[in-house]
């Protein structure tokens, strides 16, 4: 049995067939998805469709990433968060809690989307901005700098 330490002690894990990234045996990553060598998927996370997790990105907890979504850089998607469609989470961004990021939405730099917040369409959240609570960010809306939307 192969094990890997995702940060809380070694757990049964394997390298993904497309990209070679680490996947805990408790997580589910489809053969059609890509997980790069330094990326990690663990806990009960699910990655499927043509989704990509690359760089040093991590998807964990009960998070789900699917369709053509991408999580990259040093980004984290966790908790019960869902990222799908053509959404992108990158840089040092964090998407967590019960947050939803979809459409062509982008979360990047040090931005955070959490709680029950939802982003869709062509919305952008960047720099040190935070979108949280029950906020809905959509259309061509840009949230940046140190703005907080709740």
- From residue 13, how far is each of 3, 36, 62, 80, 132 by CA, in Å? 5, 15, 17, 21, 33
Give helix then strand counts, H and E, for the chain: 0, 24
Structure confidence by residue, pLDDT tens digits, 40-76: 999 999 999 999 999 999 999 999 999 999 999 999 9
Task: List pLDDT tens digits, range 86-136.
Answer: 999 999 999 999 999 999 999 999 999 999 999 999 999 999 999 999 999
Q: What confidence score (pLDDT) does residue 109 get?
A: 98
Global model pTM greater than 0.95: yes
pLDDT tier, 1 (very low <50, low <70, confident <90, very high otherwise): confident
Percent of the chain with pLDDT over 90: 97
Cβ count near 45 (within 10 Å): 25
Rounding to the nearest 10 degrees, give the CA dihedral for residues 91, 54, 39, 72: 20
Positive/negative CA dihedral, 122, 91, 32, 45: negative
Confidence band for 33, pLDDT divided at 50, 70 and 90 = very high
Chain-wide mean pLDDT for the chain? 97
Q: What is the pLDDT of residue 93?
A: 98
């Amino acid at each position: 049995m192969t094990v890997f330490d995702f940060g809380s002690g070694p757990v049964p894990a394997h390298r993904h067939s497309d990209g070679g990234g680490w996947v805990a045996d408790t997580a589910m990553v489809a053969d059609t998805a890509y997980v790069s060598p330094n990326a990690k998927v663990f806990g009960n996370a699910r990655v499927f469709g043509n989704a990509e997790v690359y760089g040093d990105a991590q998807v964990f907890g009960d998070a789900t990433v699917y369709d053509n979504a991408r999580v990259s850089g040093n980004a984290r998607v966790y908790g019960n968060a869902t990222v799908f469609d053509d959404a992108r989470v990158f840089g040092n961004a964090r998407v967590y809690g019960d947050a939803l990021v979809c459409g062509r939405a982008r979360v990047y730099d040090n931005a955070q989307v959490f709680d029950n917040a939802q982003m869709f369409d062509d919305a952008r959240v960047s720099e040190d901005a935070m979108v949280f609570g029950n906020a809905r960010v959509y259309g061509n809306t840009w949230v940046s700098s140190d703005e907080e939307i709740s």
